């Protein structure tokens, strides 16, 4: 069991396009009327929405929030009797607003224009005398965050990349924090997925609104994660590098991230790799940064090699790798994203449906191979299995259908295709032993044709979903004998047996004799049987009778009736049993309905409801 503590931030979040226009309403919602507007050049876009609420501006926020800058802003705040702070910009503007809120307890509205994520955390980093320190306090959390995707459309690609990777660092660190919990884990993984998918699209087209929206949402999720857990080695190193050596914040996070990741627990890295869609998380992030054109070496950010050991002697090896820009050693699986993309792109010329099916199949198969680190020997064994499945398949023995059945695929497809109308009888899998054109028989016919077994009288009605009888419906019936074999498996039989076609009368009714179905094993002498044996599964099907009901103007129903109390109802090997198809087959005494002299017989009475084509599926 996992124990954890989780606290969510109190901020109100307004997200969308053009949301900056709501700024005045958000200020009034905080019972404020005199705003200090904080930010660089981007703050100008907030002047008009604020209107008469704007009391003063501070246009000089500085990276790493030097305390002397905070003091200058504090003086402006006091001179203008400010009662609300509005920060428009990246981490510098929002950091200054948080520093002022800490000192004044004024309410804040943050309007991020980058992906820094500071707006969603109770963390404040401040620099004094060349040393950066951090603190956590709910007092620095903004009361409201206004995310306007439009404000990010002009964010330079280079800054978008480093700011986005900075956000990814928040999510990654949250996953291996001692305070990690199920809520932040899911937020962090979703943030990583969105960032990995959105940043390349922004690089390709800076004005891609959908990608900008995804990445901005990811930044919020990542910041929220970091706001609920303690920061670790990554942020410790980056704060030191920034505060002591003046390195740019987002760029430093971008360079350091893959090298810190390489030192984390394999199980955490595996989850990150899956979210990224790569085999190895640290190299996957490093390769993504390089692909996006982001910085990969601290030396390129201005750090002297002689200063590396001054940062943190215990992290010397890590920092030397980050200084030189060396790709982290690959401990996980190779990155095959480009290969997968090539295969996916090869289907672009197909029709839309075929393209969608094939591309998703390729992604799913490649992902399966990666997740399971499939060996060549294992894959060749799979190929051999499929080859033998094809070789044993004939018109009589459908081993591939059997494979689909035992993997539950047939039942899933059946549910998707036939179980979308709640008022109809549940459907069930067709199975491998149906044959086209069974012999048509009159009502009351005995389809067992003298085969041994407990006689079973079947009284069946077919109605529509309103309960009206469906006349002239074609009903195909088939089942196995008491030993579990269908007629197509018994070459010594003379013609079809235990299968027939009936037509309903004016009341939608049909009757016939058969024998009580028994549980039976599916054919287990082929590859599918070997697969079941290898995984310790039995090959048995619960006792049942097959029905296929068709009439023009109605949806065809393929289904089965299962004997209540029969064996394997809860472990049918093809997963075909549904509660609505389990039926009583009670023991009967006395004369049969058609006057036939029979002892120890059973009967089944059932009404099938089928839907008209106009009902929809």
Does 190 share its domain with 320?
Answer: yes
Residue range 521-542: mean pLDDT, rounded: 94
The 10s digit of each residue's pLDDT in 404-440 is 999 999 989 988 887 777 789 999 988 888 999 999 9
* Bridge-based pairing state of the strands 445-446 and 509-515: parallel
Tally of CB atoms within 10 A around 141:
22
- Dihedral angle of Cα 215, 217, 222, 228, to the nearest 10 degrees: 170
Q: Distances from the Cα of 479 to the Cαs of 212, 434, 544, in angstroms?
A: 58, 9, 7
pLDDT given at position 2: 63
Whether residue 402 lies inside any domain: the answer is no
The token pair at 387 is 């080859």
Residue range 221-235: mean pLDDT, rounded: 85
Select, from the ranges 224-238, 297-311, 555-569, the one with the highest average predicted confidence (pLDDT).
555-569
* Number of domains observed in the structure of the chain: 4
The 10s digit of each residue's pLDDT in 92-123 is 999 999 999 999 999 999 999 999 888 998 88
Does position 248 have pLDDT exceeding 60, yes or no? yes
Structural domain boundaries, residue 564: 409-615
Does 413 share its domain with 547?
Answer: yes
Does position 616 have pLDDT exceeding 50, yes or no? no
Query: Are the C-beta atoms of residues 532 and 399 closer than 8 Å to each other?
Result: no
- What is the Cα–Cα distance from 84 to 266, expressed in whole angstroms? 46
What contacts 482, CB < 8 A, 6 or more positions away? 451, 452, 453, 515, 516, 518
Does position 208 have pLDDT exceeding 90, yes or no? yes
Whether residue 456 lies inside any domain: the answer is yes
Tally of CB atoms within 10 A around 146:
26
Buried b (16+ CB within 10 A) or exposed e, 512-540: bbbbbbbbbebbbebbbbebbeeeeeebb
Does position 252 have pLDDT exceeding 50, yes or no? yes
pLDDT given at position 22: 94
What contacts 587, CB < 8 A, 6 or more positions away? 600, 601, 602
Query: Are the C-beta atoms of residues 426 and 578 closer than 8 Å to each other?
Result: yes
Whether residue 383 lies inside any domain: the answer is no
The position carrying tokens 């009714």 is 509
What would the 3-class secondary structure string for 340-400 be?
HHHHHHCCCCCCHHHHHHHHHHHHHHHHHHHHCCCCHHHHHHHHHHHHHHHHHCCCCCCHH
The position carrying tokens 């590859």 is 527
Does 288 share its domain with 424?
Answer: no
The 10s digit of each residue's pLDDT in 82-92 is 999 999 999 89
Does position 1 have pLDDT exceeding 80, yes or no? no
Report the range of poorest mean pLDDT among 35-49, 197-211, 326-340, 547-561.
Answer: 326-340
Q: Distances from the Cα of 580 to the Cαs of 408, 423, 598, in angstroms?
A: 18, 11, 30
Report the range of poorest mean pLDDT among 129-133, 461-465, 528-532, 545-549.
Answer: 129-133
Whether residue 256 lies inside any domain: the answer is yes
The 10s digit of each residue's pLDDT in 57-78 is 999 999 889 999 999 999 999 9
Element housing 330 (H / E)? none
**556: buried, middle or exposed (CB in 10 Å: 19+, 13-18, 0-12)?**
middle
What DSSP assignment string belongs to 177-220? STT--HHHHHHHHHHHHHHHHHHHHHHH-TT-HHHHHHHHHHHH
The position carrying tokens 């049993």 is 577
pLDDT given at position 617: 43
Does 208 share its domain with 306?
Answer: yes
3 state SS of 607 = strand
Rg (CA), the chain: 35
Does 243 share its domain with 180?
Answer: yes
- The domain that contains 61 carries what CATH number? 3.40.50.1970
Does 316 share its domain with 173?
Answer: yes
Does 97 share its domain with 87?
Answer: yes
Q: Which long-range contacts (CB under 8 A, 24 or more apart) does 526-529 make?
A: 526/388, 526/389, 526/392, 526/397, 526/399, 526/402, 527/385, 527/388, 527/389, 527/392, 527/399, 527/403, 528/389, 528/399, 528/402, 528/403, 528/406
End residue of a domain, out of 275, 309, 335: 335
- The domain that contains 259 carries what CATH number? 1.20.1090.10
Does 428 share its domain with 568?
Answer: yes
Residue range 569-580: mean pLDDT, rounded: 94
- DSSP bridge partners of 512: 445, 458
- What is the Cα–Cα distance from 175 to 265, expressed in whole angstroms? 10
Rounded to 5 degrees, φ, ψ at 418 are -120, 0
Does position 8 have pLDDT exceeding 50, yes or no? yes
Select, from the ranges 279-283, 487-491, 533-537, the one with the highest average predicted confidence (pLDDT).
533-537
End residue of a domain, out of 94, 119, 152: 152
More confident residue, 102 or 597: 102
The position carrying tokens 């390769």 is 287
pLDDT given at position 596: 85
Tally of CB atoms within 10 A around 486:
24
What DSSP assignment string belongs to 450-461? T-SS-EEEEEEE
Does 343 share its domain with 329?
Answer: no
pLDDT given at position 240: 85
Whether residue 393 lies inside any domain: the answer is no
End residue of a domain, out of 128, 152, 176: 152
- Dihedral angle of Cα 436, 438, 442, 445, to the nearest 10 degrees: -140
Average pLDDT, the chain: 92
pLDDT given at position 215: 97
More confident residue, 612 or 599: 612
Whether residue 83 lies inside any domain: the answer is yes
Q: Distances from the Cα of 122 to the Cαs of 229, 232, 236, 447, in angstroms?
A: 10, 15, 16, 77
Does 350 share its domain with 473?
Answer: no
Tally of CB atoms within 10 A around 615:
16
Whether residue 304 lies inside any domain: the answer is yes
Does 513 share its domain with 591?
Answer: yes
- What is the Cα–Cα distance from 246 to 233, expressed in whole angstroms? 19
Query: Are the C-beta atoms of residues 374 and 466 closer than 8 Å to each other?
Result: no
Does 27 share its domain with 4?
Answer: yes
Q: Please list the helix, strand and coil fractions of the chain in percent, rounded to the nearest 5, in that order.
A: 45, 20, 40
pLDDT given at position 467: 95
Whether residue 385 lies inside any domain: the answer is no
Q: How confident is the model at residue 177 (pLDDT cuts 50, 70, 90)?
A: confident
């Amino acid at each position: 069991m996992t124990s954890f503590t989780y606290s969510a931030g109190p901020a109100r979040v307004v997200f969308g396009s053009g949301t900056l226009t709501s700024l005045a309403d958000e200020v009034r919602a905080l019972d404020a009327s005199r705003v200090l507007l904080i930010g660089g050049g981007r703050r100008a876009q907030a002047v008009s929405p604020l209107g008469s609420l704007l009391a003063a501006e501070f246009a000089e926020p500085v990276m790493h929030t030097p305390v002397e800058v905070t003091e200058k802003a504090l003086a402006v705040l006091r001179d203008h009797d400010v009662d609300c702070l509005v920060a428009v910009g990246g981490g510098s503007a929002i950091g200054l607003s948080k520093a002022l809120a800490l000192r004044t307890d004024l309410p804040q509205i943050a309007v991020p224009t980058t992906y820094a994520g500071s707006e969603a955390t109770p963390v404040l980093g401040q620099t004094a005398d060349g040393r950066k320190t951090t603190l956590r306090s709910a007092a620095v959390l903004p009361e409201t965050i206004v995310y306007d995707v439009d404000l990010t459309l002009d964010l330079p690609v280079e800054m978008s990349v480093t700011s986005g990777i900075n956000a990814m660092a928040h999510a990654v660190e949250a996953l291996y924090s001692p305070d990690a919990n199920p809520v932040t884990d899911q937020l962090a993984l979703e943030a990583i997925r969105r960032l990995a998918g959105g940043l390349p699209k922004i690089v390709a087209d800076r004005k891609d609104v959908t990608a900008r929206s995804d990445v901005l949402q990811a930044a919020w999720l990542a910041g929220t994660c970091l706001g609920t857990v303690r920061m670790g080695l990554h942020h410790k190193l980056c704060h030191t590098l920034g505060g002591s050596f003046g390195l740019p914040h987002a760029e430093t996070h971008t360079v350091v991230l893959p090298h810190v990741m390489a030192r984390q627990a394999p199980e955490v890295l595996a989850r990150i790799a899956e979210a990224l869609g790569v085999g190895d998380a640290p190299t996957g992030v490093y390769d993504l940064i390089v692909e996006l054109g982001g910085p990969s070496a601290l030396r390129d950010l201005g750090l002297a090699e002689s200063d590396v050991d001054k940062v943190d002697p215990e992290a010397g090896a890590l920092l030397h790798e980050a200084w030189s820009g060396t790709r982290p050693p690959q401990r996980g699986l190779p990155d095959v994203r480009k290969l997968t993309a090539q295969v996916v792109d090869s289907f672009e010329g197909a029709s839309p449906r075929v393209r969608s099916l094939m591309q998703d199949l390729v992604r799913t198969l490649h992902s399966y191979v990666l997740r399971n680190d499939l060996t060549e020997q294992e894959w060749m064994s799979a190929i051999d299995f499929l080859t033998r499945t094809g070789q044993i398949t004939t018109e009589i023995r459908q081993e591939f259908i059997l494979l689909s059945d035992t993997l539950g695929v047939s039942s899933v497809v059946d549910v998707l295709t036939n179980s979308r109308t709640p008022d109809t009888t549940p459907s069930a899998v067709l199975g491998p032993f149906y044959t086209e054109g069974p012999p048509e028989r009159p009502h009351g016919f005995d389809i067992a044709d003298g085969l041994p077994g407990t006689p079973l009288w079947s009284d069946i009605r077919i109605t529509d979903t309103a309960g009206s009888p469906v006349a002239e419906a074609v009903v195909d019936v088939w089942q196995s004998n008491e030993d579990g074999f269908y007629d197509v498996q018994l070459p010594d039989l003379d013609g079809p047996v235990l299968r027939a076609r009936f037509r309903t009368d004016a009341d939608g009714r049909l009757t016939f004799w058969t024998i009580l179905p028994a549980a039976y094993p599916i054919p287990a002498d082929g590859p599918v049987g070997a697969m079941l044996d290898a995984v310790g599964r039995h090959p048995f099907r619960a006792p049942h009778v097959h029905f296929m009901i068709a009439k023009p103007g109605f949806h065809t129903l393929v289904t089965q009736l299962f004997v209540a109390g029969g064996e394997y109802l809860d472990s049918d090997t093809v997963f075909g049993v549904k509660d609505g198809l389990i039926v009583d087959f009670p023991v009967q005494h006395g004369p049969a309905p058609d006057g036939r002299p029979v002892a120890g017989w059973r009967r089944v009475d059932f009404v099938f409801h089928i839907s008209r084509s106009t009902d929809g599926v």
